[in-house]
Structure 1
Amino acid sequence: MALADNADTRRPNRAPLSRASWSVIKTVLSTIGSVAVTLLGLLLVTFVIGRVMPIDPVLSIVGERASQSTYDAVFYELGLDKPLLVQFLYYLWDVLHLDFGISLLNARPVSEDIVRVFPATLELATVGILLGVVIGVPLGVLAAVRKDSWIDQIARVVALIGYSMPIFWLGLMGLLIFYGILGWVGGPGRVGIFYVDVVPTVTGLILVDSLLDGNIEIFKDAFSHIILPASLLGYYSLAYISRMTRSFMLEQMNAEYITTARVKGLSEWDVVWKHAFRNIRVQLITVIALSYAGLLEGSVLTEIIFSWPGIGSYITTALLSADMNAVLGGTVVVGLIFILLNIFSDLLYKIFDPRAK
């Protein structure tokens, strides 16, 4: 009995998990489950699209003049003879291992092609969203603070034009004016033809790689090429961000606590930026994250017009060539980006909003 008592005294006390710990665990599990369900739904949709498209994947590989025996061999090799459920499970297994198949255009793995082209889209969209945020947020705030003034009218017109004008038309006009006539910016492509593959690829972002290499000349050339298409994307996001910022700020400026702050004698700067703007940060995070995801996914026309070798051009070229492996692989990557950015915005939401902790 004495030995048992001594053993009990040496046994560490294990306190039960607190309510906060259980809350964190439930939040993490809920997030993982939501991501898993969303990703599964995305993969199911892409799989169905690949099967209902009026494109025969076997003919895309062997050609229309192939013999029946060759056709049958490739048909069985692709597993198309198996039930759809089995095919989907195979597809799911391959995607989870980042295996999107082989591209019909260049006979390379699609995953390698995506790794090669995605940094170009990431760089273009990042510069675009930075321009949209830096200009759009202050413009929306000023429009709300100076409601119905000339600043507000300009902000409305800017947003209206950004929503109304087709981006491909703006791109063509931009190339004609700023490149063809004025010569202020570089032409299509990421760099001039003499600078292609000169800078060692480290990140895939040519602006960053040129700085890491210490080549200021290539950095300037790359910047002259990216500034026009990034400005167009930035203008598109600016229209949305400024409009939403104005709407959020108007709601806050009419609140009672703003009147109280002014009665207390606070400066207009403190009232606007330290009180009203602080309360819309969480909403703006979601708006900016969705806008950024939209630029990463929706820059197809911009990439085509400016011959930008990004994932949008890659998917479009693959679709026109009936390369469904490349199309579905790019679609899955774009969908995954949306999921990750939503998770990131939720995390920032919980950081900036104490009520969500």
Structure 2
Amino acid sequence: MVTDFFKRLFNIRDRNEQAKFTGVTAVEKRQQAKQQAPVIEVTEKQAVESQLDLSALFYSLLFATPSTTTTGIANNLERNVMQNIEQALSSPQAIAENVLKLPSKILELDKKLSDDGIKTQELIQLIEQDPLLCVDVLKLCNSPAFKRSDSDVNSIKQALVQVGRQQLRQFITVCLARELIDIKPIYFRRFGAEIWRHSMQVAFLASELSSPDQRDSSFLLGLLHDVGKIAIFKMLVDSFYQAEPGEQPNSMLFKQVMTTKSLTLSALLARHWQLPRHFETPLTLLANTNIKPDDDMALLIWKANIISECSMLLQADKLPKPALALLLAQVEFSEEQFIELHQQLINF
């Protein structure tokens, strides 16, 4: 069991104090606190095993499968989905066109919003052309994660003044990308909500941890890094209708396949969508789960992904403290730094 594996390695004391998010960039905080972080030697084997174990725990959270039912053998449902995954990897075009379409407006609008030459009124008119988009953006502005004051934001103009152009651009990107995970059957909405929450957290963390000139790119990359996982889940939804009653995705093998294959599929989808190379390359590097990426952007998403998974599992009381210590050592974060970000992520 993953818990036993980590308990053999560490014994971490409890901490009751919780840090408050201050708004200081995470890059500066990491530089200030780097010498205070606990020194934990992590072998390459331990790193690979801990990340696979983390992913398995995370999928258990998403699927809400009792741990007592987890097995090492794939059932018929899982075998069918894994076969579909292999077909998808050999023909990502079919997935991109029929299963998971990138909203046509997302790159076009993002490009316009990145133009510093566009006037404020012109920018507002551009956004207001889509009333549904306006509603979604205002909801995001007033959400606990992003609300800046006690009063609600009631217009795009007010949002632009209160959160700024860069933040508003990110909000619009989020609202457009949200269309990717439109899971209609009620039974599957929990997964959709949790995987989207994770994508939002990774986007937020990637933006927080990146340098100022990389924030917009890292935000969008964080938002899209799990599109392969979303595509696979949609395949799973279709397979449920043909499955035997009671069959659930609960094997360790299936969870590991979801981890490794979904990242590869994300990179292939990015290529088919003709995203800029600075998106496709990091996704391709992240697909190799056996090594820590050395590319700056890929490393950023890799760290943000681990922090988000740890945060969501910790909130659900499913992450042993020894496991957290090992994973934080890999991303070079102290427990204090993590708890501070964790308090912010709870609002997502």
**TM-score (structure 1 length as normaliser):** 0.27
Of structures 1 and 2, the larger Rg is shown by 1
